[in-house]
Structure 1
């Protein structure tokens, strides 16, 4: 049975009936952000799980203030913004490394449109533990990639810089087209590369990051998978601080950060961790029931040992 529409005043009454203390700002905040986004998205740490065993509805811990729930909501929004900034940096490095490595191995202006430039089903790199039909996945993924690339080159989406290259030169270099390819597109592009191209991309990333530990082709494939998921999560305003992605929903924020360690330059990693610490300091006094130190530990921030090991 569908839930009935409730006015903001009725929603406030509902919160108060469930132990939440509201104030003069609650109505404006709910009108601005919506009840579903704030309360349904961030209520979990504030719920009285014991009392809920005897209730069909949510019951909040006594003394819970709406402003605490709202502060967790705002914290997560700022966390998404901050995280997106550094994932975008990693994305640029990964995209450029893969495109550069492909073009170095396949210098023809239209080589990326030829299926012969890509790995065979036998050569294609798969995630660890993959047990599906490799030939079928290869055929499907290569066909989809070719469709995307050809549509982009045809200028069906009307991108001016693509039309410029087509009209002036009769082709679009991959390093130009890459600007119109998503992180997900490049992830599929990378997976379909021959191992020599993948290894060269890994070498390029290591030279950019200054890391003493070179990321392997398999690890880079995993990094693409994790970072694409978290980038999309941030871009679509989904809950981040306790998010779990992956097929088994077991990849958490700390795992995402670990994927950036061998990719981002050390100064960017340190800036990321410093800004994360500042963010927690900003909100630690306003979320009350949520313990920032416990949240930090659960999220795996900062990964001091990893950074120290990389520097040595």
Structure 2
């Protein structure tokens, strides 16, 4: 494990590896963190050929600290733009899921009854799933029940809105409690719903995204896929992780853009893409090694 290095030692290390470091780098590293800036964004600027004969990183000739920091700042703004749309998609998916469930299960506390959910053989799984559905159902349902009941545990602190309903009515409806459930919690909730209710979710989403009769029909598997992809990218944004080249399995930023159309109107997606184009234009003279065309391809904007 590498030991602690002062800012001065960090700069000396970068210079020893061929980077041109300006006078403002010390302040930036102290504010932003060496690992976040350098380790997160160095790859496009490394001289891969020279590194074949070196145990350390070697930067391309002429590489400046400002170039890495420019990519770092672009990615931060990319996260800010993306997150603002992902939370809209989160709200749309959660609302459609809660509405469909409560419309079929009218008891206020029906969501705490395991019989309100599907049978093990009917759990919705990705099309490539080849494992044990019964085991998956059992584990997911137990975890979901633990989360739901934990939110109502009298020995644990409650959110103000939960506390209000418990004090006033003795129970909390799902449409209230859902505000205290994570996007991931709701993904598991949707996966365990009965198929008729999942179809109702699809119908609600088609209506709220203003899909026309000629648009592709939204299926329960489409919504499950949307939950899976959007939860992952939302968490990347929320935890300030690298986004522009992020990939989970084969899911890239471009995948996320396509999946967003399940939850948001096309006009909203086009507005988002316009903001992304403006962002790339803003940074086009600061990227140097990476071209705007490269980024457009990676982001699915080409």
- Specify the TM-score bucket, using the shorter chain as the normaliser: over 0.9
Deviations 1:200-256 (A, max 9, x none): 0011001000123331101110110110011111111111111111xxx22111011
Query: Secondary structure in 2 aligned to 1:213?
Result: coil
Q: Which moved more, 1:112-121 or 1:265-274?
A: 265-274
Q: Which moved more, 1:182-191 or 1:212-221?
A: 212-221
Contact 1:118 1:193 (8 Å CA) reproduced: yes
Q: Which moved more, 1:162-171 or 1:117-126?
A: 162-171
Give the superposition deviation at 1:31.
Answer: 0.7
- Who is 2:294 aligned against? 294
Q: Distance in 2 between matches of 1:164 and 1:262?
A: 34
Q: Write out the 4+ residue segments of structure 1 that deviate beyond 3 Å after TM superposition.
A: none
Contact 1:213 1:262 (8 Å CA) reproduced: no
Give unpaired runs (5+ residues) of structure 2. none
Q: Distance in 2 between matches of 1:150 and 1:127?
A: 27
Give the superposition deviation at 1:132.
Answer: 1.1
Q: Distance in 2 between matches of 1:244 and 1:12?
A: 30
Describe the shift of the 1:19–1:103 C-alpha distance in structure 2 as closer, same or farther (beyond 3 A): same
Q: Distance in 2 between matches of 1:148 and 1:287?
A: 45
- Who is 1:310 aligned against? none
Q: Distance in 2 between matches of 1:29 and 1:282?
A: 20
Give the superposition deviation at 1:76.
Answer: 0.6
How high is the TM-score relative to the length of structure 1?
0.93
Query: Secondary structure in 1 aligned to 2:240?
Result: coil
Query: Secondary structure in 2 aligned to 1:191?
Result: helix
Give the superposition deviation at 1:265.
Answer: 1.2
Aligned residues: 298
- Who is 1:53 aligned against? 52
- Who is 2:174 aligned against? 174
Alignment RMSD (CA, Å): 1.0
Give the superposition deviation at 1:19.
Answer: 1.2
- Who is 2:88 aligned against? 89
Contact 2:51 2:58 (8 Å CA) reproduced: yes
How high is the TM-score relative to the length of structure 2?
0.96
